[in-house]
Amino acid sequence: MESSVRKVEPKDTIINHLVKSEDLNHHRTLFAGRSAEWFVEAGFISVASILEPEHVICAQIHGMKFLKPVKPGNIVCFRSRIAYAGTSSIVVYIKGSVVDQHGGEGKQVEGFITFVHVTLDGKPMPHNLDVVATTDEDKALMQEAIALKKQR
């Protein structure tokens, strides 16, 4: 592994999922478990875009909030962005939105996930990343991520 620190600017990683009948709960809306699966997937892809995937594990989902139900036939767009990097941990912010026919978006779910950079035998190791938040939004997400880490 390279020992020099690599600066990373937050950027959106986007994945989309079509809500099908097998994704629904007994209320005929998107099942929370399926949404959580997609949520973690979006966060993982964000981290795996800058670190080797075999060295990344999910450690904790923080306060995944469901804001509105999602119906069958909706396309859910998950946007994830790295909010904070500790020594071996990386906190990612994810929001899932349904895109309507007119191009508008309604936020359905949001939250944070902590991933840890590990050796092949599962021990935490430094990732040598430094997240550089330049926008007000990224600075606010970083502060929220730092507060979440302190709560653990």
Tell me the per-residue pLDDT of 38-69, one tens digit each, with 9 for 90 and over.
999 999 999 999 999 999 999 999 988 888 89
Asked if the structure places residue 67 within a domain, the reply is: yes
Q: Which two tokens stand for residue 62?
A: 């923080």
Q: Report the predicted TM-score, pTM, of the whole model to 2 decimal places.
A: 0.90
Kindly give the residue spans of alpha helices, DSSP state H, lying in the chain.
32-48, 136-151
What's the CATH code of the domain at 127?
3.10.129.10
Asked if the structure places residue 86 within a domain, the reply is: yes
Q: How many domains does the chain have?
A: 1
60: exposed, middle or buried (Cβ count in 10 Å: 0-12, 13-18, 19+):
middle
Dihedral of alpha carbons 134, 83, 11, 2, sign: positive
What average pLDDT score do residues 96-111 get? 78
Are 107 and 78 in contact by the 8 Å Cβ rule? The answer is no
Residue 86 has pLDDT above 70, yes or no: yes
Residue 7 has pLDDT above 60, yes or no: yes
| Residue 72: domain span | 6-151
Asked if the structure places residue 38 within a domain, the reply is: yes
Asked if the structure places residue 1 within a domain, the reply is: no
Tell me how many degrees the CA angle 96-102-106 measures, rounded to the nearest 5: 25
Please list, in sequence order, all residues whose beta carbon lies within 8 angstroms of the beta carbon of residue 18, skipping any fewer than 6 positions away: 73, 74, 75
Are 91 and 55 in contact by the 8 Å Cβ rule? The answer is no
